[in-house]
Amino acid sequence: MNRTTLYITILLSTLIIAACSSEKAIKKGDQLAAINEYFDAAKQYKRAYSKIPSKERSKRGQIAWKMAECYRKSNNPQRAAGAYQNAIRYKYPDSITFRYLADAQVKNGDYKAAAKNYEIYLKYAPDDRMAQIGLKAAQQSMDWKKNPTRYIVKQAKELNGQRSDYCPAYIGEDTTMIIITSTRKEAKGEDISGITGQKPADMFMAKRDDKGKWQKVEKIESDINSEYEDGAAAFTPDGKTMYFTRCPIDDQYPRYASIYKSNRSDASWTTPEAVIISNDTLSSYAHPAVSPDGEWLYFTSDMAGGEGGLDLWRFYIGSSRAMEGITENLGNRINTEGDEQFPSFGPKGELFFSSNGYPGMGGLDIFCATQENDTVWKVTNMMAPINSNGDDFGITFAPGLYRGYFSSNRGDARGWDHIYSFLLPETAHYLYGWIYEKDGYELPEGVIYLIGNDGTNTNFGVMKDGSYSVRVTPGVEYVLLGTCKGYLNAMQELKTENVEGRREYQRDFALPSITRPVLIDNIFYEFDRAELTKESATSLDELVKLLNLNPNVTIELSSHCDFRGSDSYNRRLSQRRAEAVVNYLIEHGIEEERLTAVGYGEEMPKTVLKKLTETHTFLKENDVLTEDFINSLDNEEQQEICHQLNRRTEFRVLRTTYKLYE
């Protein structure tokens, strides 16, 4: 035998051995897949794929498809996406490959690529609703990630181990203890599941210490844990009865998930008993949840009479004999042709569940269902950050609060689940401000009246510094009245935003004194004339509001000049200016009998109040800005300031009983 012949013989032998080896791996993979041991089956297909020559494109495509299906069914979207892409590369003939690839890409957060593959698939199957939902999910999820809700989500590292941890549950009203389902090494069974590649799950417990910190997670030493899969616990409101899922295994014939219950006896749990919901032994019953009134057991099942896939059902567990044994499907108000799983209840009785049958962000998303009437339910996606491109499920709430825990496999390349905490910051809108004397200081004896179009009608005093703070309701219109004995009332309006989160609004009240003159700010006249400028309208309109708010008040409206110019000229000019203000008020609806115009010219120089000394430190309280005082100042700038202070328009309350007794 020459050398060439020898090489050919060796090559042929190698190819034959490889072909035999690949066929053996394929056969073994088919056997494992047939009994749903997808984790182990994928290993066999991967071994076979590596031994098939690249020129055998059809065969490579078939094995890539089988491998991808095993990854999909064992919830490993990253590997599934790669395998489906290989199936497409080798022209695997089934168009569903594009949809399953897109599903995996959504779970991987690759929304742009997913949308492209959904669109390709929908050309072959335009009526496929699940693909339509997937496409919508891929398109909207990018926006949801950019614009998350107010929930704060963090991984609860103190509750997580080195394997899968999921389905947290408080024990009734007790938030010092929590039950989780876990495949960590302390779980009772010894076998590694051919389906998940992990140990069968058991239930574990964590307790809080005196400081509220979770202590080490410990396995529950009780018959509620078996060598099978045990978990997804739920409790009656009093915490005395536990319902959970058990997935028994039998080599002789198929066994399906069932719901068991156990009663609490002191610190331990009794031997669990199966809950017989139906005589149908070929359907699964899982993920129990007890209604807030303790009357119904909600669960997930694939039994006949549903909408397709896994549906949410409920089973009567209350005390009424007339209702005993009633089982109801929640119908298409909640259920879809996809899978609805992991029901639970929120602080206000809302039904929470996970589904892949509604547009979501990938895998299972958590939804909230609220009942609007007897027949209509509103189903809302919880969006990011509660939901992600992974599977999000098994949410539990601390009693009465929008905070708690849920489980997700986000960010885990193996598809393993972990516990996450969540918290919705309180929606709190506050109104604050001060009540003080106009041109003066705080009024600690002030009282504020608050009236809202939601029926609010209250009043409250202010703090010693004149400040106040009160909580208000979003989306409400309020009228506020600031009052204090010896002062005119002042009104403010407020319309709160109809939004969640924290908001603050400020409304201050500057109350004019009844006993001394009150400066009207920002009143301007044409130079050396009595005509009001447009800039004066804002302040005068506020004075109109003040007079309308205090209808029993009459006032003297006075105008003052500095001492430059003759006495008679200043008196005439100030009189005309005072009358101009009065005429404006009359034109805007104030009765003429309530108004008296007086022009004092330079006769009444301004008396300095303490508040004014904070702005003009060269002045002292009770200084009178006479001609002699101003001329005594060496600084020309200070002299001009005093002239400006003397040029003013004021009002003084004359009566507070106008038409009071009519």
* Angle (deg, nearest 10), helices 57-73 and 38-51: 160
Instruction: Spell out the domains of the chain, with CATH numbers in brackets.
Output: 22-146 (1.25.40.10), 152-423 (2.120.10.30), 428-511 (2.60.40.1120), 518-655 (3.30.1330.60)
What average pLDDT does this structure show over 435-450?
A: 94
Cβ proximity of 298 and 259 under 8 Å:
no
Kindly report, residue by residue over 40-95, the tens digit of the pLDDT. Answer: 898 999 999 989 998 899 999 999 999 999 999 888 888 999 999 999 999 999 99
What average pLDDT does this structure show over 158-163?
A: 93
| Short-list 332, 391, 397, 401, CA closest to 366 | 391
Kindly report, residue by residue over 471-520, the tens digit of the pLDDT. Answer: 999 999 999 999 999 999 999 999 999 988 889 999 999 999 999 899 99
Alpha-carbon Rg of the chain, whole angstroms? 40
Cβ proximity of 49 and 70 under 8 Å:
no
Residue type at position 547: L
- Only one residue has tokens 């993979």, namely 29
Mean pLDDT of the chain: 90
Q: 189 to each of 100, 125, 164, 192, how far by Cα in Å?
A: 33, 44, 15, 8
What average pLDDT does this structure show over 380-390?
A: 94
CA angle, corner 222, sides to 219 and 226, nearest 5? Answer: 85
Kindly indicate the confidence band of residue 195, based on its pLDDT and cuts at 50, 70 and 90: low
Which strands form 554-560's sheet, in the order they lie side by side? 518-519, 648-655, 554-560, 595-601
Cβ proximity of 543 and 536 under 8 Å:
no
Residue 418, strand partner residues: 408
Q: Helix, strand, coil % (nearest 5) of the chain?
A: 30, 30, 40
CA distance 459 to 447: 7
Total residue length of the chain: 662
Q: 429 to each of 156, 470, 492, 564, how far by Cα in Å?
A: 30, 9, 17, 53
pTM greater than the 0.75 cutoff: no
Could you give the count of Cα atoms lying within 13 Å of 141 in the half-sphere of its Cβ?
Answer: 29
List the single range of 61-75, 190-204, 379-393 with lowest mean pLDDT: 190-204
| Percentage of the chain exceeding pLDDT 90 | 71
